[in-house]
Structure 1
Amino acid sequence: MNPDLEIVECPKCHLKISKRRLRRHLKRDHNPEVELARKQAALAESRKKIEGEKIVKCPICSCLIKSKNLVRHGKLKHKLFPSQISGVNKFKSNREKESFWKSKLGPDIEDESNDVFSKGVVISGGAYGLGKNRKN
């Protein structure tokens, strides 16, 4: 058997590799610069994942959603383009936020009323304690 074809284990990552390719493997995959770049990429990926899991408030309807889903929410619920929803955290006041969204959505969007009767909400149940039994 040729000694170069002998299978050995990498001392750093325990990969089974031929003896003649071990030196190239160590230079390419376990070089300190490569190791540093790999760790930085893993750190950036974990930061990105943590940022995506943060809960934010939709600037239009004020519902709570994950920041990674904010663009999709704006597209599906409010019919906005990603460029329109990207300006989420740039407002200093509510007045500035409202004027921005009115300019994006147009002047025909009405302010949402807080009146219970204008929403058309149907409340189930009877009046004055009758419950669902409406025979009385």
Structure 2
Amino acid sequence: MNYVKLGNTGLDVSPICLGCMSFGSAEGWVHNPWALEEKASRTLIKRALDLGINFFDTANVYALGRSEEILGRALNDFANRDEVVIATKVFSPMRPGPNGGGLSRKNIMAEIDHSLRRLNTDYVDLYITHR
């Protein structure tokens, strides 16, 4: 696989990024009735890694956090964290209340903590506003 620089970040990424919106249970998330369960999702993640794909994109809201959980477990099992690039996103409401979503400092700080826990990692490489 030939890798490319991601803008001016200094990160070397595969030219293909595996989007993880389809990973996670469809139950309870009306926006994603076609979601793949964990077993099928893990198969795709493993195959992507075997092909040299090192760039993965998810979001806190995908399957209400299940996508991040599945990606985190799979990367923990199949990859070296230092060799993959993880992007996740923030914006959509994840909990009730006036500060349960959006781009306030309060929500961003709360949601990065939740995303890191679900991804089972100490850091993400890209944190993107999901607008």
For the aligned pair, the TM-score class normalised by the smaller chain equals: under 0.3
Q: Which has the higher strand share?
A: 2
| Structure index of larger Rg | 1
TM-score, structure 1 length as denominator? 0.19
Q: Looking at both structures, which has the greater relative contact order when contacts are Cα pairs under 8 Å and sequence separation is at least 6?
A: 2
TM-score, structure 2 length as denominator? 0.19
